[in-house]
């Protein structure tokens, strides 16, 4: 797609007046989860999203060391592909609504902070039983998309290329990725930092929004 510009961590210095003219562009993170890559735990990803008018309409999150690929496209749903030495298995994925305890929450392996801990404590008081999984890179959002977790709160800093591809996957699997006011994350902003956000399975918004001070 030579006519579609590319924005990535390596090209994040492109001036906003130039980016502002883009109606469609690729948003790429060639290595999400640097600490996981260095630590050799396999939880690093390649994230590729196609953005149109600020909205991620196509997303791929590939974890090469784990043999996992998550993908989604607007109005076409989301899927997970697992590669083993003997075969490749692909299946559609869907978020899992919270129906009974314990509530499944995924958190950053490398970037915890007091705001996250306070939010988790309020969740415990509200829901009782709580299971927290610690995972690296964009795989956290993908766990929400596939139904392995109900919530992923992120109050620490992230940038647009960290989240766009996985946001598309979560949304096409029935979930939402929103700021703390409940508005979906949008892309190609003057400042490429994301606000604090929560990725949530369908029907979870009322639960977590009531816990925000």
- pLDDT value of residue 154: 95
The domain defined by 1-213 folds into D-Maltodextrin-Binding Protein; domain 2 (3.40.190)
- pLDDT value of residue 29: 96
| Range 6-17 average pLDDT | 90
- 99 confidence band (pLDDT: 50, 70, 90): confident
Quick: pLDDT tens for 35-64: 888 898 989 999 999 999 999 999 999 999
Give the start-to-end residue ranges of the domains of the chain: 1-213
- pLDDT value of residue 11: 84
- Please say if the pLDDT value at position 177 is more than 80: yes
- Please say if the pLDDT value at position 109 is more than 70: no
**DSSP characters over the chain:** -TTS-EEEGGGTTS-HHHHTT-SEEEEEEEEE-HHHHHHTSS--EEEEEEEETTEEEEEEEEEGGGTEEEEEETTTEEEEEEE-SS-EEEEE-------SSSEEEEEESS---HHHHHHHHHHHHHHS-EEEEEE-TTHHHHHHHHTS-SEEEE-S--BHHHHHHHHHHHHHTT-EEEETTSPBP--S-SS-BPPSEEEE-TT-HHHHHTT--
Tell me the pTM.
0.94
């Amino acid at each position: 797609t030579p006519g579609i510009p590319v924005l990535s961590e390596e090209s994040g210095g492109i001036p906003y007046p130039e980016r502002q003219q883009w109606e469609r562009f690729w948003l790429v993170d060639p290595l999400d989860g640097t600490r996981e890559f260095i630590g050799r735990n396999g939880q690093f990803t390649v994230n590729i999203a196609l953005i149109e008018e600020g909205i991620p309409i196509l997303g791929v999150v590939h974890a090469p060391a784990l043999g996992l690929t998550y993908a989604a496209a607007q109005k076409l749903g989301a899927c997970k592909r697992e590669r083993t030495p003997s075969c490749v298995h692909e299946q559609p994925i869907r978020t899992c609504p919270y129906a009974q305890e314990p509530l499944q929450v995924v958190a950053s392996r490398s970037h915890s902070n007091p705001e996250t801990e306070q939010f988790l404590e309020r969740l415990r008081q509200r829901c009782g039983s709580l299971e927290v999984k610690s995972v690296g890179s964009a795989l956290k959002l993908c766990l929400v998309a596939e139904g392995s977790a109900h919530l992923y709160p992120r109050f620490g800093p992230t940038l647009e290329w960290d989240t766009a591809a996985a946001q598309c996957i979560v949304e096409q699997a029935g979930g939402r990725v929103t700021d703390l006011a409940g508005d979906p994350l949008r892309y190609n902003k003057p400042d490429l930092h994301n606000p604090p956000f929560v990725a949530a399975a369908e029907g979870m918004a009322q639960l977590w929004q009531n816990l925000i001070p």
